[in-house]
Structures are given as C-alpha cells and as structure tokens.
Amino acid sequence: METLEAGDAAVTIDHEHGGRLSSLRIGGHELLIDAMGRDDDPTSWGCFPMAPFAGRIRHGRFSFEGRRYEMPRNLAPHAIHGTTHTAAWERTGPGTLRCDLGPEWPWAGHAEQEVELTPTSLDLTLRVETTDDAMPATIGWHPWFRRNIGGAEIEIVLPAERMWQRDDDKIPDGSLVTPSTGPWDDCFTALIGPVELHWPGVLDLYVESDCEHVVVFDEPVGALCVEPQSAPPDAHNSEHDLAIVTPGEPLVHRTTWTWSEPA
C-alpha cells in the first residue's frame, strides 16, 4: 500500500486489491467504505477504477467488428466493472500504478492510474491502452462514500438534466428521460455542474469529471456511490459513447474531487 498526504488529507492506494483507494481521510474523517467484512466482494468498498468497461455488459456478451465475445459473468447473468478491479496493480512511481487487462479480456493492453492529492483536492486520471488491434472500451471510477460522517447524514445535489431509462436488468434501454427522484441505481448525463455531497456541518465534497455520464447508486444502507463513467452501462452493445482504442491512441479520463468545510 501507499499513502499520500497533503495538509489534513490522506489517501491510501491498495495496489494488491484492484488498484483502489482503500481510504480517504479529510480532517480526521474517513469518507470511504472500508474492506471490513467485504473481502469476498471486490465491488463493495473503497474507490476502484473500472476498465476496460464500466458497469454492466448484458449477459456478458458483445460483438465488435463482426466477432462475438463473452466475458465472465461476475454479476450473473451479467459481466460488470471490467477486469482490473480484482487484479493486483504494479506501483510505477509516486501515486502511479499499472495493470494488464488480463486473460479474460480479448485484447492485449493495460490500464494506468495516476493519483494526485492536494490539501483541498484529489485528482484521479485513468488511461486504457491496447498493444493489440483496435478494441472497444469504457472506463470510470466506483467510489463507495459513507452516508454518515461525523454524525452527519449525507445529502446529494445531482445537477443532471437527463437520465438513461433502465430496464428490468438495471441496464439502460437506450431512452433518455427526465431524472427521477430516486432511490437510484441509474446513469445520468447532461450534467450542468459537479455532483455535490454534503455532510451538514462537517464537510462539502464536489465530484467533477470530464466524463459525460455518472452512475448514482444510493440503495445500500450506509453507503452512496457516485461513479463517473465515459459511457453508460452496456455501451459495448448500445455503442452510446463507446470509445475505440487503437495502439498509440488510448482512452483517457479524469475526475477531480474538491472539498471544504461548511461556511
């Protein structure tokens, strides 16, 4: 593990368990759900990068350039969150790490992540490259925020103008609709500002990204997820904002979290 510190902020990177952030402490408060009792579910804690696909792939199947591919169905009957969140990542420098996409992915390639911390912000940059032929890819981050910090219950401000309508599989059906009032396990787009997380009297956190989509999952007791993604779930089938990565032309996105104490 590696811990970066700046002012009263500290972030810990767990290279062995998916290259995830296992802790983010600000002013003595832990923001992320930890691994306690969740070792058998790598999708349920910390903040992990999703590559080379973010969210679900319906039934683990997709086609590309006339060929059919199947991924392991790790959320049966679907595949979810890529191949790197269960792998060990290599530390390549201060706050930088790298991971091969693995044998489950049909193309040779790797993901790289850079973590930069200041006293008032956290920058995460994620890159996916192919060393093989062109491949379809989406990427993103999956943070698990604590609902209660310092005795304050979380409040969310979600400035999205549109939401992808989901079907019974919790996968977008291709239609954009007016956002509902929740609870959510939904993907939003047409963002007109950062997603705001407020723990009244304790901390204000703002999640920004150059991704055009964000999944918000607030159904679990005690946790809330705000997941910047380069495309909606199942983009490998719908092709909505699906990136085609070629050698020398990686897919790169960034998210920035900023924070302050309430006025």
Domain boundaries, the chain: 2-260
Mean pLDDT of 75-83: 95
Q: Which residues contact 219 (CB under 8 A, 6 or more apart)?
A: 183, 184, 185
Residue 76, pLDDT > 80, answer yes
The DSSP H or E segment spanning 238 is helix 235-238
pLDDT of residue 261: 82
pLDDT band at 207 (very low <50, low <70, confident <90, very high): very high
| Model pTM score | 0.96
Mean pLDDT of 122-131: 97
Q: Which residues contact 111 (CB under 8 A, 6 or more apart)?
A: 19, 49, 51, 52, 84, 98, 99, 101, 126, 127, 128, 129, 139
CATH for the stretch 2-260: 2.70.98.10
DSSP label at 131? S
User: Distance between CA 184 and CA 112 in Å, rounded?
Assistant: 30
Structure tokens at 48: 């992990």
- The answer to whether residues 126 and 101 touch, using CB atoms and an 8 Å cutoff, is no
pLDDT of residue 237: 97
pLDDT of residue 88: 97
